[in-house]
Amino acid sequence: MAAGTAEPQVHGEVEEGFGPVADAFAENFRTGLETGASCAAYVDGREVVHLWSGTSDPATGRPWDASTAAMVYSTTKGVAAICVNLLVQRGLVDLDRPVAAYWPEFGAAGKENLPVRMLLSHQAGLPLVDAPVTFDDVIDGRPVVAALAAQAPVWVPGTEHGYHAVTYGWLVGELVLRVTGRSLGEFFAAEVARPLGLDFWIGLPDSELDRVAREVPSPPPTPGPPTPEQLQIAAAFGDPASVSSRAMFLNGALAPKPQPPTPAELRRLYRSEVAAINGIGTARALARLYAACVSEVDGVRLLSDETVDRARQAEADGPDRVLFVRTRYGLGFWLPTQWSTQLGPASFGHPGAGGSIGFGDAAARVGFGYVPNQLSMNGMGGDPRKERLIDALRRSLDRV
């Protein structure tokens, strides 16, 4: 939707006092930043915001409706983190025990004592894969898991941290598989999504394909001089041999292509479990999921206060070896920084490339989700769309 078009038709409901969120949501469309999107928020276990608007498929004009889902990229990592923290809460995973105690092959190449907490907090030194990787390997997953188990860390675990952009999903996914006998997607579906009635999948069933919004490519960067951090990131990502490029694009297997993926390629990606990046769901599902981590939602409470408090303590804080900017990681969650917009100091969650985000806030007892199909160059941080929505939510909470 270009700026200056007709007033956007916003659908859904907001509880009294949360009108600023609806205004902010409409403003994102009014100013031409959105094609289609949904936004939802829960407070104390009740839904206070559920909004949607725009177009889910620009090629056909199919409107975005209450059931529309979209791929949320790295927002999936927060969903995976909830699963692992649930296993910790149940006493099935010990954060200080070596990963190799659950996954023996992982103990190769000096990793025999690497504890689970470092795997969750991007300190393991495994943000890339040493072996050649193809797109078929990514879809299969098993060759990548075997390669990660066999290789040595890029840095001494615990001495640095760096965003495990894609490998995170296979690392924590294999941990879940070894502990439960179920893949991460299967565990999430049975133990989390089903009890809460969530429209969210890690490994999308073919029956849900028609619900998935079609992505709209990112617009060109905003005119103006780049910051020193942007120049550093651009240089690193542009060098195929750099740690950053190899981590983000997995040795070229996930590098952007001139042509958009075919429907067949998308179906393969959606069906697979690339649990760091290919979760598909709705904003309502994300809000409901995080709400159940900080409060009871329709009789379901996922994580206890004790588990949440432990999970949102900073395990790593400082310059990121992969992203260069300051990052703060808890037990699988991004914690608030200038780079990671959330509600306040008690927030925990995860953003995704393209703009999506899901988070909870332990102090405000909030669960929040935002899912667009208009990708953004500022998707992981500094996206004005979600900043506007989160600011509106904060102001609404201050008034009610």
Amino acid of residue 344:
G
Both structure tokens of 99: 């990963």
Coil, helix or strand at residue 25: helix
The pairing of strands 280-281 and 70-71 is antiparallel
Catalytic residue list contains 74 = yes
Q: What H or E segment, with its residue span, contains residue 78?
A: helix 75-89
Choose among 3, 37, 30: nearest CA to 369.
37
* 376 vs 221: CA distance, rounded Å: 9
Which residue is associated with the tokens 């276990």?
A: 45
* 235 vs 256: CA distance, rounded Å: 16
For every residue of 289-354, which 3-state class applies, written as one string? HHHHHHCCECCECCCCHHHHHHHCCCCEEEECCCCCCEEEECCCCECCECCECCCCCCEEEEECCC
Active-site residue, from 38, 53, 56, 74: 74
Q: Which residues are catalytic?
A: 74
